[in-house]
Amino acid sequence: MGFINWEFLYNTFWVALSGVPIALFVTAISLLIAVPIGFFLALSRIYEIPVINQFSRVYVSFVRGTPIIIQIFILYSSIPLLLNEFFTKYNIDYPIYNIHPIWYAFVIFSFNTAAVLTEVFRSALKTVPKGQLEAAHAVGLTSTQAYIRIIIPQALVSAMPNLCNATINLIKATSLGYAISLKEVTLLAKVEANVGYNYLEAYIDIFFVYLIVCMTVEWLFKLYEKRLKRYKYVSA
């Protein structure tokens, strides 16, 4: 395999690996934002809350029906325009186009992930029998207490495989951060490749970096899933 520059492959692997903290940081913050939004929208679907239920349906359908790269370009183009209009209206002097790309990444990936988690939580919550909530009310628990102590732990057992998939897909989606100049794994490797046009080696490095990260995350989810097994509901 003389067409591969092994020295470049080795050196660039560590360069690409240095982008992992940014990718994981964006993933973590996006999940922190998306989880409560997704859970709220899931409840709005289950209890059919007017307006919010309809909004949730359209929102989820839009995210499902469009490629994430298109969502990135739309949001990355529209957010500065909206902020500029807002700042101009209220005479706020701030350089809009100097905002760090990571802030756009938080918004974009949270927007996408919240829609995915809406369906994850909705399907998981529906696996918990309605009698569980009624029983909790019967012993004096409020709905909030019942959800925290009884419903959510049981729903998480069913949700974990899909949560794992959503998290891994989000990590992989951060590779598109190069489109907004986010210095994550892909951008760092491609910058190195630009010097000698060693794109094959760069893409191989990107492949292995994401493979290692995603396999590690999957392993951690499996460990946590085993701990949640004690909450699994067994029908009589």
The distance from CA 221 to its chain's CA centroid, rounded to whole angstroms, is: 15
Residues 6 or more apart whose Cβ sits within 8 Å of residue 87: 93, 94, 96
Distance CA 27, CA 29 (A): 6
Ordered by where they begin, the domains of the chain are 6-231 (1.10.3720.10)
Ordered mean pLDDT values, 10 residues apiece, the chain (236 residues): 82 94 97 96 92 94 92 88 84 82 94 95 90 85 88 89 95 93 93 89 95 96 83 52
Q: Please tell me the predicted confidence (pLDDT) of residue 227.
A: 81
Assigned token pair, 59: 């929102």
Distance CA 207, CA 205 (A): 5
Q: Please tell me the predicted confidence (pLDDT) of residue 2.
A: 64
Q: Please tell me the predicted confidence (pLDDT) of residue 235.
A: 45
First to last CA, the chain: 61
Q: Please tell me the predicted confidence (pLDDT) of residue 129.
A: 85
SS3 83: helix
- Would the pTM count as exceeding 0.85? yes
